Amino acid sequence: MRGLLLGVMAAAVFGLALGDAAADQRKVVIGTEGAYPPFNYFDSDGNLVGFDVEIAEALCAAANFDCEFVVQDWDGIIPGLLARRYDAIIASMSITEERRQVVDFTGKYYTTPAKFVKPAGVELEIPDDKAEADAALAGKVVGVQRATIHENFLRDNFPSVDVRVYATQDEANLDLVNGRLDLVMADSVALLDGFLETDEGAGFEFVGPDYAEEEWHGEGAGIALRKGEDDLREALNAAIAQIREDGTYQAINEKYFDFDVFGD
């Protein structure tokens, strides 16, 4: 009986400890797009998955946050943050000066260049020099996701191109497949994993140089937060450093990529 009583008391103490630990957890709601494979998307069972999602879960574990996800269309994702629908955006958002005018960012958690994709059977060369590239693409119809760094880059550097914007990258890719576009531009990894290595992407290929100019493409993908949320930013920066140091980041990286997506 004494042993049973001690066991019950121990269980009660353990339960209280767990309750205190749970009470200590900060609730953090994360906004993401859910339409940007391999970074954030829904699998065939309707589960939200991807590199961004797993990194977010790892950061929440490292920071002892109780996290949940909210899915938001890309062109409304910053307004949703400012309206307090969620506390942080983890959705492959590039850190740019334009966005810094309205939100704060953590340090980067990955960086990859942008590229064009064209039909494999079409003869086309895109020079490294942007002015020459614009001349080579004069009159071409190029699809890009709306309200992205890639749209801004195209409009600022390729005035001779007919830019068509889409709500999601998948919609742009579909119009390329259906012959309504000459090219698309997006993040190279998103195009490779989300399009070129799929059945729909057969017969298409990268063309031209990598584009990674800080003025347009920023400093890499970071986590966006409302201005003034310094404690949250510092906690997430510490969590990024922790998962980079303890091997968690590398394990997630290797699940999705055969190279270090973090970059230099």
DSSP 190-244: HHIIIIITSGGGTTEEEEEEEE--HHHHTTSEEEEE-TT-HHHHHHHHHHHHHHH
- Note the residue count of the chain: 264
pLDDT tens for 80-135 read: 999 999 999 999 999 999 999 999 999 999 999 999 999 999 999 999 999 999 99
What are phi and psi for residue 61, nearest 5 degrees?
A: -65, -45
Domain membership flag for residue 227 = yes
pLDDT at 264: 83
Q: Which two tokens stand for residue 188?
A: 């190279």
Q: In terms of domains, do 141 and 195 share one? A: yes
CA angle 253, 59, 246 (to 5 degrees): 60
**Residue 184: what are its φ and ψ, rounded to 5°?**
-125, 155
Domain count, the chain: 2
- Split at pLDDT 50, 70, 90, the class of 156 is very high
131 and 97 share a domain?
no
Q: Is the same domain home to 212 and 163?
A: yes
Q: The CATH number of the domain where 147 resides is what?
A: 3.40.190.10
Residue 250 burial (CB count, 10 A): 13
Cβ(116)–Cβ(183) below 8 Å: yes
Does 162 lie in the same domain as 226? Answer: no
119 and 105 assigned to the same domain: no
- Per the CB < 8 A criterion, the answer to whether 205 and 118 are in contact is yes
- Whether 190 and 170 share a structural domain: yes
Q: How far apart are CA 33 and CA 87, in angstroms?
A: 14
Q: Are residues 158 and 236 in the same domain?
A: no
Place of tokens 């999602």: 53
177 plus 123 within the same structural domain? yes
264 belongs to a structural domain: no
List C-alpha distances in Å: 113 to 59, 95, 192, 214: 24, 13, 12, 11
Which tens digit of pLDDT belongs to each residue from 208-224?
A: 999 999 999 999 999 99
**How does 169-190 read in b/e, with b if 16+ C-beta sit within 10 Å?**
bbbbbbbbbeeebbbbbbbbbb
Q: Is residue 263 part of a domain?
A: no
pLDDT band of residue 76 (cuts 50, 70, 90) is: very high
The answer to the question of residue 2 being in a domain is: no
| Both tokens assigned to 201 | 């992407």
- 3: in domain: no
Considering the domain architecture, whether residues 178 and 227 belong to the same structural domain is answered as: no
pLDDT in tens, 171-215: 999 999 999 999 999 999 999 999 999 999 999 999 999 999 999
Whether residues 30 and 153 share a domain: the answer is no
Average pLDDT over residues 237-253: 98
Is 55 within the bounds of a domain? Answer: yes
Same domain, residue pair 81 and 65: yes
Question: pLDDT value at position 8?
Answer: 41
Token pair for residue 102? 């309205």
Residue 19: inside a domain, yes or no? yes
Q: Rounded mean pLDDT of 217-243? A: 98
Strand partners, 118: 205
pTM: predicted TM-score of the whole model, two decimal places: 0.85
Q: Nearest to residue 190, comparing CAs of 57, 51, 55?
A: 51
pLDDT tens digit string along 7-66?
A: 444 444 444 444 444 557 899 999 999 999 999 999 999 999 999 999 999 999 999 999
Give me the pLDDT at residue 18, please: 40
Residue 35: name the closest of 74, 85, 68, 86 by CA.
Answer: 74
Q: Domain of residue 147: give its range.
A: 114-217
In a domain, 1, yes or no: no
